[in-house]
Amino acid sequence: MLRHTALFLHRDTITPDQQTDMLKGLAFMRFECAGVRALDYGNDLFGGSTPLREVQPWARRPRWRDPHEGPPCNYDTALHLDFDDKAGLDAYTNDEVHRQVASFNAGVSRGELTARVDWWYKGEPLTRRGGIRHIAMFVWNDEAGEAARRNALDAVRHLDTADGVESVAIGENVGTMSTDFDWIVDVQLSDRPAAESLLSGDHYREAMRAVAPATRFEWTARLSHTMRGL
């Protein structure tokens, strides 16, 4: 299965009605866009970009001051589209409904910071309706060697030993956009308490300690949401 995952960061000016309209547009593409086999979407469960709105820019620690500190906030909205093959993804990309939805999203989100990965995985569409999905996208540090990258991937795979984790999938980007991230981890969890426990616990902390030196960790894109599974 070929999946296109995109994480959106809302503009400060987005209204609650626009947030709802954005979600409606994402769901609409499952039934109206060519090539789509399955779709999942959702808003971040833990506040998204709220810290960016509550803390003035000059009061925040700049990302470039500590590359191992991580991002200042989560992303706000996730979209996952599954296709049988590259032809399906191409049909979706060129579909007029997709273009209309993308145009609306551009007006309410910060397009220059949208995080994207196109990645392959085995089996049926990777979604369990009602469960929790945690997504993290990373950009490799050009100076990181193969050993550091392998260590990062192995550490993330071991998240499947944490309580409440049902599956861990890792995908390397096969997209061609210069703005694409390099790789993604997709963690499925039983419920919100399991997600909260994972993200605040030792398993996740130790995994990120291995990931940070091998990536541009300050640009990590993260989000946790309830799976719709359309």
The answer to whether residue 51 scores a pLDDT higher than 90 is: no
Note every long-range contact of 148-157, with CB atoms under 8 Å and residues 24 or more positions apart, other chains counting: 148/213, 148/214, 149/214, 151/210, 151/214, 152/210, 152/211, 152/213, 152/214, 152/215, 153/183, 154/210, 155/206, 155/207, 155/209, 155/210, 155/211, 156/185, 156/207, 156/210, 156/211
The pTM (predicted TM-score) of the whole model is 0.94
Amino acid at 87: A
Residues 121-132, mean pLDDT to the nearest whole number:
94
Q: Is 150 helix (H, G, I), strand (E, B) or coil?
A: helix
Q: Can you give the pLDDT at residue 153?
A: 98
The answer to whether residue 219 scores a pLDDT higher than 90 is: yes
CATH code of the region 2-226: 3.30.70.100
- Kindly write down the DSSP assignment for every residue of 42-77, as one continuous string: EE-TT-TTHHHHHS-GGGSPPGGG-TTS--SS--SE
Q: Can you give the pLDDT at residue 80?
A: 98
The mean predicted confidence, pLDDT, of the chain is 94
Amino acid at 213: P
Residues 116-122, mean pLDDT to the nearest whole number:
97
CB 47 within 8 A of CB 74: yes
Tell me the pLDDT band of 167, cut-offs 50, 70 and 90.
Answer: very high
Please enumerate in sequence order all residues whose Cβ is within 8 A of that of 181, keeping only pairs 6 or more positions apart, or say none.
115, 116, 117, 137, 138, 139, 173, 221
- What are the DSSP E strand ranges found in 148-220? 165-172, 183-189
Residues 20-34, mean pLDDT to the nearest whole number:
97
Q: Can you give the pLDDT at residue 52?
A: 76
Q: Can you give the pLDDT at residue 50?
A: 87
Residues 61-84, mean pLDDT to the nearest whole number:
85
Q: Can you give the pLDDT at residue 66?
A: 67
Residues 133-146, mean pLDDT to the nearest whole number:
96
The answer to whether residue 72 scores a pLDDT higher than 90 is: no
Residues 136-141, mean pLDDT to the nearest whole number:
97
Residues 153-162, mean pLDDT to the nearest whole number:
97
Please enumerate in sequence order all residues whose Cβ is within 8 A of that of 141, keeping only pairs 6 or more positions apart, or say none.
213, 214, 215, 216
Indicate the burial class of 1 (C-beta count within 10 angstroms; 0-12, 13-18, 19 or more): middle
DSSP state of 10: B
Residues 9-13, mean pLDDT to the nearest whole number:
94
The answer to whether residue 57 scores a pLDDT higher than 80 is: no
What residues does each domain of the chain span? 2-226
Q: Can you give the pLDDT at residue 17?
A: 97
